[in-house]
Amino acid sequence: MAVATGKSFASRFGVHIAVFIFVAIWTIPTLGILVSSLRDKDQIIASGWWNSFASSTQTEAGRLPPASAQVEKDGKFVLEGNIFGDDAARDISAFGVKSAAPTQYPAGTTADLGDGETLQLNADGSFVMTSTKAFEGERGQRVYYASSAPPKFTTDNYDTVLFSEGIGRSFMNSLTVTIPATVIPILIAAFAAYALAWMRFPGRALLIAVIIGLLVVPLQMSLIPLLKLYNGVGSFFGVPSKTYLGIWLAHTGFGLPFAIYLLRSYIAGLPREIMESARIDGASDFEIFVKIVLPLSFPVLASFAIFQFLWVWNDLLVAMVFLGTEGDQIVLTAKLNALLGSRGGDWEILTTSAFITIVVPLIVFFSLQRYFVRGLLAGSVKGG
Amino acid sequence: MAAQIFSAIFVIVVGVGGCVAYFWGANKLVDIIFPSRGVAGAAAIDNLRRQGMIRPWLFVGPAMIILTIYLIYPVVETLRLSFLDRGGANFVGFANYEWALGDREFRTSILNNIIWLAVVPAACTFLGLIIAVLTDKIWWGTIAKSLIFLPLAISFVGASVIWKFIYEYRGAGQTQIGLLNAIIQYFGGQPQVWISLPFWNNFFLMIILIWIQTGFAMVILSSALRGIPEETLEAAVIDGANPFQIFWKIMVPQIWGTIAVVWTTITILVLKVFDIVLTMTNGQWNSQVLANLMFDWMFRGGGDFGRGATIAIIIMIAVIPIMVWNIRQANKETGGH
């Protein structure tokens, strides 16, 4: 843009900085769940994801061996060993014996626990506990320690959510809902759009006005009557009221006004000469539509397909009303919502599930962004 | 699962095949009943005219039937239900509307919706406009726009998880794993449970929608800005206008129509906002909104369709002015066509 020319270096630099800050704010949240979904689940709660490349410090609890492992040495009773067992990969910085003060003593020092007991815990996990009296009891002393672990990245979370949390199944359910719900409205809308753009019949202007009106009717208006209708149809024919067929048709209905509006404005803009010369050559409306209009409308069909795909894939409301919440029907968004309730604090599950639900839209979006933007512009600038 | 994939593919084939068969078959049928070829001149013209009368309805028919079942009938039915009791059996007059006006939760929802309406469309449009202007001036603007645009592809539920993770709270002094509290704590502040802070939690939910929708505003406004004639801007520069004057006095008035479109589109979206509130708070801590309240009443205690329908009607009433405006605009545009 011409405005930018002749500006000082400082102001141009300012623009770069400002845009960079905006980009950072808009991408960091998504980056956060991507990084977290790849981290070890203990590390997710031990440190912020932005620290995931640094060693993380976490406070853990362990138990010393029971009294039966003690040996008597120089008149004292001694327990020795390593708190990590065999895998001594971590580095202890501090320890304690009370949950209220888990890092009371620095590693390597000898703590006086009272009653003639002492405990020394070293950085590598080895410990020596001594007592003037014999240790008793089945359970050993509880020890808390802060250890730092090297950054650990893993795909375990993906294994867990895909195969044991049911996200894999929901992924299939989402595809089952989305693909027919994207394909069916396109055909129906394309024929209607052609008729509204190029065929003359009474009531056409009224129909167009109705469709533009329906564009903004809130989904909420349809929910209760359709729920009643579906329940009625279900009990009348003795079939379940929550079926894939039901939700395909529902999404078709909700997507149609926008589909017809978008396709009509595009098809109406096709050159009149092409249609007329085809008609003179004896082509029927059906032939004109199939052989000329459909191929020429590919860009707008692609735009709508992307819209509808994203809208159906990302929908929660319609799925919650018209589809079951059991394993064989629950879609990704509803599953993620359920996990938020049942696995509230388990961020390794939530971040991973969230990333799986958004990865398909992101791929579609990035690979077909051109068509998406074109549809967005056609759909809204002209007044919708 | 294999059965499910198979049945989905089967349905696509049957559904698409059915559609094609209908359109092709119906078209053929018209040709057979009213033949235009191989009959005498006058009869052919007659039949052609009849074909011309029937064919458009064959093309728009399926769409009309679906629109009627899924949108037109429900609008009428919802209006009727809003005057009936919870089971839809008895006429109760305006009782549901009276209930709504007196209900504390409903009033909270209305109030919150008004705040959402005041904040989100304005914030999205404003931020979108600023980003559109700024990214136009730099060589990596397209990449920047792509990245800011990206949240638009993310579901509201996914976005809620993303932001819930940012708002995550741990007690003061502990390691914060939520980005916002970590920043606050780093600068010596007190970490907060953001989504349950009365009143302010609304804004933390709004941020999610703003984050999603700014990209939409940006793309539309960016294309409108490109449409401003270069000469206009050059003339302003020659006349000595500074960048702020150019922005406010030249650019903004030129794209005023587009700003209105973006604003109304986001307004409608805000009226319907449901997923974010359901997943973040489910209306607790005074963050309820109409769409979520309606969903709640649809199923609460076995479902109260009367009250649910009433709330839907109230959302609809808010949309009607935009609807009328849209239809008028469209009529103006298509005019004689």
Instruction: Give me the phi and psi of A142, to 5 degrees please.
Output: -85, 135
Structure tokens given for A126:
């080895």
Identify whether residues A286 and A376 lie together within a single domain. yes
Structure confidence at residue B336 (pLDDT): 46
CA distance A307 to chain B (A): 9
Same domain? For A89 and A184 the reply is: no
- Confirm whether A223 is domain-assigned: yes
Residues A36 and A68 in one domain: no
CB contact under 8 A, A48 and B216: no
Answer yes or no: do A40 and A162 share one domain: no
Q: Is residue A1 part of a domain?
A: no
The residue from A149, A166, A181 where one domain ends is A149
Is the domain of A47 the same as that of A83? no
Q: pTM value?
A: 0.85
Contact A44 B177 (CB under 8 A): yes
- State which H helix or E strand residue A351 sits in: helix A347-367
Number of H helices, E strands in chain A: 15, 9
> Quick check: A244 pLDDT over 90?
no
DSSP characters over B286-337: TT--HHHHHHHHHHGGG--HHHHHHHHHHHHHHHHHHHHHHHHHHHHHHTT-
| Phi, then psi, of A57 in degrees rounded to 5 | -100, 125
CA atoms B4, B10, B16, B19: torsion sign? negative
Same-domain status, A255 and A334 = yes
Interatomic CA distance for residues B262 and B124, integer angstroms: 9
Same domain, A98 and A171: no
What pLDDT, on a 0 to 100 scale, did the predictor assign at position A88? 55
Residue A381 pLDDT exceeds 50: no
> b/e string for A188-197 if b means 16 or more Cβ within 10 A?
bbbbbbbbbb
The reply to whether A25 and A136 lie within a common domain is no
Choose one of A52, A69, A84: the last residue of a domain. A52
Q: Is A198 inside a domain boundary?
A: yes
From A86's Cα to the closest Cα of chain B, the distance in A is 29
Question: Residue A383 above 50 pLDDT?
Answer: no
- Asked if A286 and A215 touch (Cβ cutoff 8 Å), the reply is no
Domain holding A186: CATH number? Answer: 1.10.3720.10
Q: If you measure CA to CA, which chain B residue comes closest to A265?
A: B334
Work out the pLDDT band at A4, boundaries 50, 70, 90.
Answer: very low
Q: Provide the mean pLDDT of chain A.
A: 85
Nearest by CB: A3 against B149, B233, B279: B233
Domain ranges of chain B: 2-81, 102-334
Strand arrangement of the beta sheet that strand A56-63 belongs to: A56-63, A142-149, A91-96, A105-106
pLDDT tens, position by position, A205-221: 899 999 989 988 999 99
A2, part of any domain: no
- Quick check: A100 contacting B, CB < 8 Å? no
Report which of residues A167 and B301 the model is more confident about: A167
Which pLDDT score is estimated for A380? 63
| Residue A31 covered by a domain | yes
Q: What is the least distance, in Å, from the CA of B151 to any CA of chain A? A: 8
With a cut of 90, say whether residue A355 has pLDDT above it.
Answer: yes
**Mean predicted confidence (pLDDT) in A35-55:** 84
Residue B165 forms contact with A (CB below 8 Å) = yes
Q: Residue A124: its pLDDT value, please?
A: 81
A183 and A128 fall within a common domain: no
Contacts of A210 in chain B (CB under 8 A): 67, 72
Q: Is residue A43 part of a domain?
A: yes
Judgement on whether residues A166 and A283 belong to the same structural domain of the protein: yes
Indicate if the pLDDT at residue A138 is higher than 90. no
A75 assigned to some structural domain: yes
Q: Which residue is listed with tokens 């590919």?
A: A298
CATH number of this structure's domain B102-334: 1.10.3720.10
If one counts the domains in chain A, the total is 3
Read off the amino acid at residue A268.
A
Which of residues 130 through 159 in chain A touch B, CB cutoff 8 A? Answer: none
CA distance A85 to chain B (A): 27
Type of residue numbered A245: L
Chosen from B162, B247, B311, B325 to mutate, greatest number of chain A CBs within 10 A: B162
A89 pLDDT more than 70:
no
Q: Does B108 touch chain A (CB under 8 A)?
A: no
Residue B70 or A245, more confident: B70
Based on the fold, state whether residues A82 and A163 are members of the same structural domain: no
Q: How confident is the model at residue A382 (pLDDT cuts 50, 70, 90)?
A: very low
Residues on chain B touching A254 (C-beta within 8 angstroms) = 70-71
| pLDDT tens digits for range A295-341 | 999 989 999 999 899 999 999 999 999 998 887 889 999 999 999 88
Q: Does A347 touch chain B (CB under 8 A)?
A: yes
Residue in B53, B154, B223 nearest the CB of A377: B223
Complex confidence, ipTM: 0.89
A91 in helix, strand or coil? Answer: strand
Least confident of A14-23, A194-203, B49-58: B49-58
Q: What is the pLDDT of residue A136?
A: 79
What pLDDT was estimated at residue A2?
42
Q: Look up the domain containing A38 and give its range.
A: 7-52
Q: Which is more confident, A59 or B268?
A: B268
**Angstroms from A98 CA to nearest CA on chain B:** 17
pLDDT of residue A92 exceeding 50: yes
Give every residue of chain B whose pLDDT is below 50, as ranges.
336-337
Query: Are residues A190 and A257 located together in one domain of the fold?
Result: yes
Whether residue B232 lies within 8 A of chain A, CB to CB, comes out as no
Is B260 at the interface with chain A, CB within 8 A?
no
Mean pLDDT, range A354-377, rounded to an integer: 88
What is the helix (H) or strand (E) element at residue A71, kind and residue range?
A: strand A71-73
Helix axes A204-214, B305-334, angle to 10 degrees: 130
Last residue of a domain, one of A117, A149, A181: A149
